[in-house]
Amino acid sequence: MERFEGRTVLITGGASGIGAATAQRLAAEGARVALADTQLEKAQQLAADLEGFAVAMDVSDIESVNAGVAAAVEAIGPIDVLVNNAGTDLFGFFVNTTPEMWEVVIGINLIGTMAVTHAVLPSMQERKSGSIVNVASEAGRVGSVGSASYSAAKAGVIGFTKAIAKEGARYSVRCNAIAPGPIETPLLNAAEEIYGDVGKRLKQGMVDATVMKRAGEADEVAAGIAYLASGDASYVTGQTLNISGGLSMW
């Protein structure tokens, strides 16, 4: 039997990279997917291929989150699986960053994860069923050069995941995180686009930090998200799964 048959899944940042690969994987396993993204047209194209639903949502804007979640529920039904995947980094050595940049990065990666969870969790708790997967990062575990506020935000996501796992357990709601290493997506290559050679070296530094000495593919992360979201992980909560070619081992 397909693991997500009859299940509804909301994926933020579902238009690109890891989110898009996750949507494809879960839809292939029977899920009805809703993709929430600031890139609405891209999300709509993918949703059409997957017979899913797309909604415009900026996870850092609470009104947009509440409206987007309501539209997704109306389209596909109450959410069984939430994948908090939307994220971004502005890159830059910390001394060169500004408080406005910290707010953007923390607003999307950390507050965004909290806001969407806040909109979805009450219904999961009422129905005594649900699985949340938060896409954190190895940056949140080991710290990443050129990504101080991003590392802080992702460490926050890991802590948030554990607290929600504890609060959710008595309602049979599980909450886990994924910590990807360098994964070939537009996000990983943004540093090179912005900073040229320095950005290229930042990416190479991340690849060199893996023991497998390569960047990962979005599909390899989607496989881990699918596992944690599914009933195969029924006794797993509060965990952070590294999908990072062995970049860190704890």
Residues in contact with ligand NAD by the rule CB under 6 A: 12-13, 15-19, 37-39, 57-60, 85-88, 108, 112, 135, 137, 180, 182-183, 185-188
> Can you list the alpha helix ranges (DSSP code H) found in 51-110?
62-76, 99-106
For ligand NAD, which is the closer residue by CB, 85 or 117?
A: 85
Beta bridge partners of 130: 173
Minimum CB distance to ligand NAD, residue 194 (Å): 13
For ligand NAD, which is the closer residue by CB, 124 or 177?
A: 177
Minimum CB distance to ligand NAD, residue 11 (Å): 10
Is residue 36 within 8 A of residue 68, CB to CB? The reply is yes
Cβ-Cβ contacts under 8 Å for 164 (sequence gap 6 or more): 117, 121, 132, 173, 175
Minimum CB distance to ligand NAD, residue 172 (Å): 26
Two structure tokens written together for 22: 């996750």
For ligand NAD, which is the closer residue by CB, 62 or 127?
A: 62
**Active site includes 227?**
no
Q: How far is the C-alpha of 122 from the C-alpha of 202, rounded, in Å? A: 40
Minimum CB distance to ligand NAD, residue 201 (Å): 15
Q: Tokens 């060169």 identify what position?
A: 96
For ligand NAD, which is the closer residue by CB, 37 or 220?
A: 37
User: Of 150, 171, 195, 235, which one is the catalytic site residue?
Assistant: 150
Q: How far is the C-alpha of 196 from the C-alpha of 128, rounded, in Å? A: 49
For 170, what's the count of Cα atoms within 13 Å in the CB-facing half-sphere?
Answer: 3
Q: What is the DSSP letter of 169?
A: G
Supply the residues annotated as catalytic. Answer: 150
